[in-house]
Amino acid sequence: MQVTELFIKRRHDAPLQPAATIACSPRGIAGSVPCAPFRQALIDSRSVTAELGLNPGDLRENIVVDCDDLYDLPSGTVVKIGQALVRLTFHCEPCRKILKLIKFDRIVHRRGVFGMFLNDARIAFGDEFAVTQQRFDEIPYAVNERIRWFLKKHGGRGAALDLVHELGLPTSSGRIMPRLLAKLLGAAPAANEGVSAQGKGGVSFR
């Protein structure tokens, strides 16, 4: 299994830029718009994208690999791409842009899987893609379950301050976050009105 395409997202809503190599680190992809920690790279299966009738880059991915069962790998799996170690976090949620290309029921859980980088490295076209034995906690896909997981792991109300950013939730989650947190925590919505839809530092949620 190997890398078949690489893309860098230089600006929001701009076309992706094909690349022969990308530099990556625990801060994300160099030269790309900043992203939430759990959403630093979107990795796609070349065969699944082709099966859907789409072309590389259509799904706004960063890394395309010829791994047919990529989306069957559980959250928390660590893969090695070239010399880069990447923790797989959760499947990418189909957004409105993507739903203009394909119906929801065809693309859900097939748009790509997000990953976060564990080391400084470079990834090049043709690099080997391999699944390692290293594992991290599984991160739930559903937004409410992901929030419960995060709060349990990081402790109570303090963890809610940058929740949208840290969890890599979709931008739309910012609008529902106060009520959702109130329901989960038993708090008044007003106590959490400061949660922003854009997230910490204006990062991208793709």
Q: Name beta bridge partners: 64.
A: 5, 44
Selection from 187, 59, 40 nearest residue 111 by Cα: 59
d(CA 169, CA 180): 13
Q: What is the per-residue pLDDT for 163?
A: 64
What was the pLDDT predicted at 197? 34
The predicted-structure confidence for 53-95, as pLDDT tens digits, reads as follows 999 988 899 999 999 999 999 999 999 999 999 999 999 988 8
Separation of alpha carbons 199 and 168, rounded Å: 9
Q: Are 189 and 178 spatial neighbours (Cβ–Cβ below 8 Å)?
A: yes
Read off the pTM.
Answer: 0.76
The ranges of the chain with pLDDT < 70 are 154-206
| Burial of 110: CB neighbours in 10 Å, binned 0-12, 13-18, 19+ | buried
Quick check: 144 and 176 in contact, CB under 8 A? no
pLDDT at site 198: 37
In the chain, the N- to C-terminal Cα span, in Å, equals 26
Q: Which tokens is 132 given?
A: 């390692």
Amino acid identity, position 24: C
8 Å CB contact between 45 and 25: no
Give SS3 for 123. Answer: strand
Q: Collect all residues with Cβ–Cβ distance below 8 Å to 193 and sequence separation of at least 6.
A: 178
Domains identified in the chain and CATH numbers: 3-135 (2.40.33.20), 143-202 (no CATH)
